A = this chain, B = another copy of it.
Amino acid sequence: MAPSFAINGDFSVGRVTPPSATGRFAAVYSDVQNSRIHHAIPLPSVLKGPFTIVDGPQSSAAGNPEEITKLFPQLFGQPSAALVRSDSQAAVPNQKLKIGVVLSGGQAPGGHNVISGVFDYLQERAEGSTLYGFRGGPAGIMKCKYVQLTADYIYPYRNQGGFDMIRSGRDKIETPEQFKQAEETVQKLDLDGLVVIGGDDSNTNACLLAEYFRAKNMKTRVIGCPKTIDGDLKCKEVPTSFGFDTACKIYAEMIGNVMIDARSSGKYYHFVRLMGRAASHITLECALQTHPNITIIGEEVAAKKMTLKDVTDYIVDIISKRAEDNYNYGVILIPEGLIDFIPEVQHLIAELNEILAHDTVDEEGLWKKKLTDQSLKLFEFLPKAIQEQLMLERDPHGNVQVAKIETEKMLIQMVETELEKRKQQGKYKGGFRGQSHFFGYEGRCGLPTNFDSTYCYALGYGAAALLQSGKTGLISSVGNLCAPVEEWTVGGTALTSLMDVERRHGKFKPVIKKAMVELDGAPFKKYASLRDEWALKNCYISPGPIQFTGPGSNAISHTLLLELGA
């Protein structure tokens, strides 16, 4: 029978009962949101029955183990843990637990499923347990702001995007007073464990808390979970951070649409800036999914010590060549953090911060004499609007607001100027019109893909298993992700093994190094082997909207697939 088309999100149909007066559900859900609530998530086999924990060999650190051991005397050297099936029903004690969970930092699709995974584990494996959600990020721990998470409370957030179940925040537990506050909270709630869902900083913090609690002989254990759409928290045991898959697919949908638009009208170059400040994984993954004409990877720009002029010329060369084939359109991907990868821009900004902090800026431009030659040259090279932005928009400390610089617009103007020059020299005969885009917030809270839904649920379920098994200072690790879900591995990796130190204010600080795009890694090499073809031919792929059933609905990211060598 032919379908009849009916309304989406009818004002009366499918109303979801609010779990609380201030909760999410004063309103109704869309059909798709509703259908996702009821989506059943598969579990890796090892989590379906009794399991036991097998410890690996003693671990070290990613760098400077002698400093890491001083910073983490209790935890350094811990083995990683793997869950394996066990025949014994009592492999792990089935005792009641009190667990807290916290979301830290920027949103990433799947966070709610990590919490659902923890909750379901407790329901199924530790009957009578209690789960608390700290509200508004780590500040919720320090201020002891929490909510008890019940089945009813969690239910409407299953497989939904966002962090709004308990919200997130960017506060950090850093000072001795703040550690004391955290101690008071977990003691007040009598917590056996804490699950910290966050990025590199938050997981470092999780490990510091674990160390602190252990040093004080407290029972509270801490397990981290790898969250960030940026994809820069990963290692051998943690193949990807959650949210990366969904965010990239949302951006790739938009990029694919813009590509078809570019080809249909034939008159625009679309400059697309993509979220991802520190590393360019998102940009690379979106390139692999969509085949744009030009992709700028920050790590390559840094490795080749490219200047802004070099980047501009690289773009302009391709645009000129395309014009010879009568292609006066295209799509160009730019990572949000591009200018952070260009040393000369960093120097200019540092000099500007210094000058503007101490001097007044005269109309005649005498102040510019204080710039070094190189910085002055760069400053004069910049479009006027960007010059003004650098001079005018200051943060409360008087510093240039680098994050506010719209790199895509800056590049459009620089490319335009250079093309005009080449036109006058008779070297370019095309027509150029730039359109700018920034895709960022749209991707952080989308409905998680089947992959992120499943991965997150396993991360949470596994985190609870580790806590019940008495583990602390580990990051929940789910692996073998290219295999069927049944075959995924589950365990925990010593957080100290991911750490190195950085010198800050004369002290060593532990850090989990951000995983950058590796120029000799499989994803970059794949892109590099294809980019010349993509540049001149139009090999666009339009992934379309994320599907939850049917073809493409269980696709895995190219990055993961290439890195795992599957």
Contacts of A163 in B (CB 8 A): 264-265
CB distance from A139 to the nearest CB of B (A): 12
Of A72-80, A126-134, A438-446, the one with at least 4 CB within 8 A of chain B: A438-446
- Contact for A260 among B161, B485, B555, CB less than 8 A: B161
Contacts of A254 in B (CB 8 A): 254, 442
Whether a CB of chain B sits under 8 angstroms from the CB of A35 is: yes
In the docked arrangement, what's the CA distance between A7 and B36, Å? 22
In the docked arrangement, what's the CA distance between A537 and B554, Å? 36
Whether a CB of chain B sits under 8 angstroms from the CB of A333 is: no
* Given contacts A27-B540, A541-B29, A545-B546, A107 and B167 within 8 Å (CB-CB): no
Contacts of A289 in B (CB 8 A): 8-9, 30
- Structural contact, B30 and A538, CB atoms closer than 8 A: no
- Structural contact, B442 and A552, CB atoms closer than 8 A: no
In the docked arrangement, what's the CA distance between A542 and B32, Å? 9
- Structural contact, B547 and A7, CB atoms closer than 8 A: no
- Structural contact, A162 and B447, CB atoms closer than 8 A: no
Of A57-65, A93-101, A298-306, A476-484, the one with at least 4 CB within 8 A of chain B: A476-484
Contacts of A152 in B (CB 8 A): none
Interface string of A243-284 (1 = CB under 8 A from B): 000000110011011111101111010100000000000000
Residue of A265, A540, A547 with most chain B CB atoms under a 10 A cut-off: A265
- Structural contact, A552 and B30, CB atoms closer than 8 A: yes
* Residues of A in contact with B, size category: 35 or more
- Contact for A6 among B257, B268, B435, B556, CB less than 8 A: B556
Whether a CB of chain B sits under 8 angstroms from the CB of A291 is: yes
Interface string of A128-165 (1 = CB under 8 A from B): 00000000100000000000000000000000111110
CB distance from A295 to the nearest CB of B (A): 15
Whether a CB of chain B sits under 8 angstroms from the CB of A539 is: yes
CB distance from A326 to the nearest CB of B (A): 9
Whether a CB of chain B sits under 8 angstroms from the CB of A357 is: no
Q: Which residue of B lies closest to A35 (CB)?
A: B551
* Given contacts A107-B265, A546-B545, A550-B549, A256 and B3 within 8 Å (CB-CB): no
- Structural contact, B539 and A261, CB atoms closer than 8 A: no
Q: Which residue of B lies closest to A270 (CB)?
A: B441
Whether a CB of chain B sits under 8 angstroms from the CB of A528 is: no
Whether a CB of chain B sits under 8 angstroms from the CB of A212 is: no
- Structural contact, B555 and A5, CB atoms closer than 8 A: yes
Whether a CB of chain B sits under 8 angstroms from the CB of A366 is: no
- Structural contact, A556 and B5, CB atoms closer than 8 A: yes
Whether a CB of chain B sits under 8 angstroms from the CB of A450 is: yes
Q: Which residue of B lies closest to A161 (CB)?
A: B260
Whether a CB of chain B sits under 8 angstroms from the CB of A119 is: no
CB distance from A10 to the nearest CB of B (A): 9
Whether a CB of chain B sits under 8 angstroms from the CB of A28 is: yes
CB distance from A164 to the nearest CB of B (A): 5
User: 8 new A-B pairs (CB below 8 Å) besides A7-B556, A30-B541, A446-B544?
Assistant: A2-B2, A5-B450, A5-B451, A8-B556, A32-B552, A164-B264, A270-B441, A545-B547
Task: Show 10 A/B contacts (Cβ-Cβ < 8 Å), sorted by A.
Answer: A2-B42, A2-B485, A4-B483, A5-B450, A5-B485, A8-B556, A9-B555, A32-B545, A106-B265, A258-B442
Q: Which 5 A/B pairs are nearest by Cβ-Cβ distance?
A: A8-B555, A31-B552, A2-B42, A27-B539, A32-B544
